[in-house]
Amino acid sequence: MTNPERRAEEAVTLEVKNFINGEYRTSSTGKLFDNIYPCTGERNSTVHEASQEDVHAAVQAARDALSGPWGRMTDAERGEILHKVADGIDARFEEFLAAECRDTGKPYNIASHIDIPRGAANFRVFADAVKNMSTEAFQMATPDGKGAFNVAVRKPKGVIAVISPWNLPLLLMTWKVGPALACGNTVVVKPSEETPTTTTLLGEVMNEAGVPPGVFNVVNGFGPDSAGAFLTEHPGVDAITFTGETRTGEIITQTAAKGLRDVSMECGGKNPALVFADCDMDKAIEGTLRSVFANCGQVCLGTERVYVERSIFEEFVQRLAEAAGNYKLGLPEDKSTDMGPLVSHEHQQKVLSYYRLAEEEGASIVLGGGVPDMPEALAGGAWVEPTIWTGLADDARVVKEEIFGPCCHIRPFDTEEEAIALANDTPYGLAAAVWTENMSRALRVSPQIDCGICWVNSWFLRDLRTAFGGAKESGMGREGGEHSLEFYTELQNVCIKI
């Protein structure tokens, strides 16, 4: 066994503790829970559930660190340390990769291209972005004729609570921790109970990079009556940034109202793809295949509703089903694996309930619809088949509700106006994909879709400097580039009378 392989093995068999004030701590109540490998149902590790006392210690450490060396550093000094954090992730790439894939079951070929490199990039991008962030200055007239100057000073918000989901654990957590730290804040992170390992492992990297104790803290546990609620309810938290389900986002927003704490909400979606007859069919098939089935459909930006112009409907359905039907389900480390399992048995039950509901609601099953036959060693895993339906009514629950699995419903349309109306017929508004080679159409259609990000002839292409967030029930606020820096800083106006 090579060194990185052995380290990777250790990373997944160790206990997962909380990381508070620069050190790993066991749960003060001794409460533990199991972290499960979704490919087989075996236990990966045991996780220390943070008590209210542990969460308080983490918030207190974060508060104290604001007035320590971290608070006195220049942006450039902090940026240098955050570059070392990114380098530290790169240096322990195999360890992060193995841990992420053991927690999620996702293929190495996805996590090694997306999750881990983007996890490191999130520190580099924001460490550099913060150096170029401007403030404002206004000169004003005063009655005595002497005038005054107003200068805006940008300050960190303070202690930021970061609540993250399980679908892209390292990537989505660092997407918030990177800019929060670059702006001089301190953080307490509550990763998903399903996927605590890479967030906790990041504590070691923080220490190695010279991040002072208390700047980055991790508390493990669940949401209600556990670490998530203890953290968001804690009065020592100045702002909360959340990624997860819309219903959870609503609860956290209510919690944040006490003390008028700021929130950033990145929530669920039921994203449409619009495929016009003037598309490049090969591109549209390849892109839709990824947007529906990547990460076993567990991507907030993924497509669950596909609308295809009637003249190419039959061909599109047949080609997408053929391509998805060739998907190989398997273990993360197998290079030929296209799709892993769902993240947990609980989520498998949720997705399978929608597979059954689709039949009850009268869907034609084009592909899948159940649990695949897996080899005996994998029979205990949370596997589901890639699934395609047609023929559902527009108000069917399967067409309306976020499923978060490897599945989509495909429906024909006749006119551009109809396609836009169908795309917008949802309470969500996260993402959309438009497939057409007619750029006038692309420019006409995309702004009419009510969503935070609309891709044309692509999907999941992200420039981290651009605004990211959801419209309608998909979120509140924007992160990305200067929008992240806006959220993680407070502007103070200093008015100087001459």
Q: By the criterion CB under 6 A, which residues form the site for ligand NAD?
A: 163-167, 172, 190, 192-193, 222-224, 228-229, 232, 243-245, 248, 251-252, 266-269, 300, 402, 404, 430, 470, 474-475
Beta bridge partners of 138: 150
Q: Which is nearer to ligand NAD, 50 or 209 (CB)?
A: 50
**Strand pairing report for 428-429 and 471-472:** antiparallel
CB of 253 to ligand NAD, least distance (A): 11
* Cα–Cα distance, 195 to 211 (Å, whole number): 23
The owner of tokens 């273990």 is 331
* Cα–Cα distance, 357 to 386 (Å, whole number): 16
Residue 270: both structure tokens together:
């039921």
- Which amino acid type is present at position 404? F
Q: Which is nearer to ligand NAD, 124 or 270 (CB)?
A: 270
CB of 196 to ligand NAD, least distance (A): 9
Is residue 47 within 8 Å of residue 30, measured between CB atoms? no
Beta-carbon-side half-sphere exposure of residue 475 (alpha carbons within 13 Å): 28
CB of 346 to ligand NAD, least distance (A): 10
Q: Which is nearer to ligand NAD, 51 or 232 (CB)?
A: 232
Q: Which is nearer to ligand NAD, 163 or 206 (CB)?
A: 163
CB of 72 to ligand NAD, least distance (A): 32
- Quickly list DSSP for 184-208: T-EEEEE--TT--HHHHHHHHHHHH
- Which amino acid type is present at position 287? G
Active site amino acids: 266, 300
Residue 45: both structure tokens together:
């590790």
Quickly count: other Cβ atoms within 10 Å of residue 443's Cβ. 11
In order of 229, 354, 442, the CA distances from 430 in angstroms are 25, 21, 18
CB of 221 to ligand NAD, least distance (A): 7
CB of 298 to ligand NAD, least distance (A): 7
Helix H or strand E segment including 456: strand 453-456
Q: Which is nearer to ligand NAD, 96 or 230 (CB)?
A: 230
The owner of tokens 């580099």 is 124
The owner of tokens 């990305």 is 480
User: Percent helix, strand, coil in the chain (nearest 5)?
Assistant: 40, 20, 35
Q: Which is nearer to ligand NAD, 243 or 337 (CB)?
A: 243
